[in-house]
Chains A and B, each alone.
Chain A
């Protein structure tokens, strides 16, 4: 018998602090597998953001820089401009990327920075205990929308892939999820495309992963996956929103 599945080398041998059933763990593993398969761990520098994944600097076996909340794309820009032949990625949640960091996100994309952005969209602020996120759904109950998100007061959620797909600097904007083996495999392919784009200097790649937060949604891991399927995918349809290679724009 041969080993057909084991822990990727780029994932440090450190137990995750994430809640049971939190999809962060799946996505971390996919990023690590991709870095291993592309053989780029030695030249990779990851930028950790602020949120549940703040300790990601402990989980990836490459050089890591911890950025202030929302600023990861700017830190990544400083790194990439200084180390143009290295592989730079950010790993961000919905508050980090689409609330406090919205300007940094839009401008890194419009500049076409050759970085890869992994965006975990679980429609809530996990680390701070379940407050509304820019991606929380209308009517969704959170700690700061205890009666359900009222769009007349709190506005409507932001669809990040759609937003960034309007920018010329964006090479890839793809929304995926990890609720099934089939979708995990699609997510991994998208992440790989995002890193390949960087290596081929095609511009900014973002892979938005529709994710669960069982703890703050108040659901079991399996119930959370069902809530994702029933509610989130309608508002956040999976798919490719921009892909310069598909358009024949292979810069």
Chain B
């Protein structure tokens, strides 16, 4: 069981987490836009998250917290 939290205000929509996720459950949400004008990263299916921390390791803005 695992869970990630993304700080959508600080996310710059760079997409490095999306590329890094081995389960491919992250995407840049086109429906959302934060106050800086970025599409923040969002998790598509939290159930599939294995808490590997790959997304957090690749995130240049330290916006992801991982629990397992």
Direct A–B contact in complex, judged by CB atoms less than 8 Å apart: yes
A-B contact count (CB 8 A): 75
Also in contact, A1 and B58, with CB within 8 A (given A20-B14, A221-B15)? no
Also in contact, A221 and B66, with CB within 8 A (given A1-B3, A181-B20)? no
Tell me how far the C-beta of A23 lies from the nearest C-beta in chain B, rounded to whole angstroms. 6
The residue of chain B having its C-beta at the shortest distance from the C-beta of A184 within the complex is B57
B64 sits at the interface (CB 8 A): yes
Contact code string A170-204 (vs B, CB < 8 Å = 1, else 0): 00000000001100110000000000000000000
A18 sits at the interface (CB 8 A): yes
Contact code string B51-68 (vs A, CB < 8 Å = 1, else 0): 101101111111011111
Instruction: Report B-chain residues with C-beta under 8 Å of the C-beta of A249.
Output: none
Out of B20, B59, B67, which one reaches A1, CB within 8 Å? Answer: B67
Whether A222 contacts B15 by the Cβ 8 Å rule is yes
Also in contact, A7 and B62, with CB within 8 A (given A21-B16, A222-B15)? yes
List 28 A–B pairs whose Cβ atoms lie within 8 Å, in order of A's numbering. Answer: A1-B1, A1-B67, A2-B67, A2-B68, A3-B65, A3-B66, A4-B51, A5-B66, A7-B62, A7-B65, A15-B10, A16-B60, A21-B15, A21-B16, A22-B60, A25-B59, A25-B60, A26-B57, A29-B62, A180-B58, A181-B54, A181-B57, A181-B58, A185-B57, A221-B14, A222-B19, A225-B16, A225-B19
B residues neighboring A (CB under 8 Å): 1-3, 10, 12-16, 19-20, 38, 51, 53-54, 56-62, 64-68
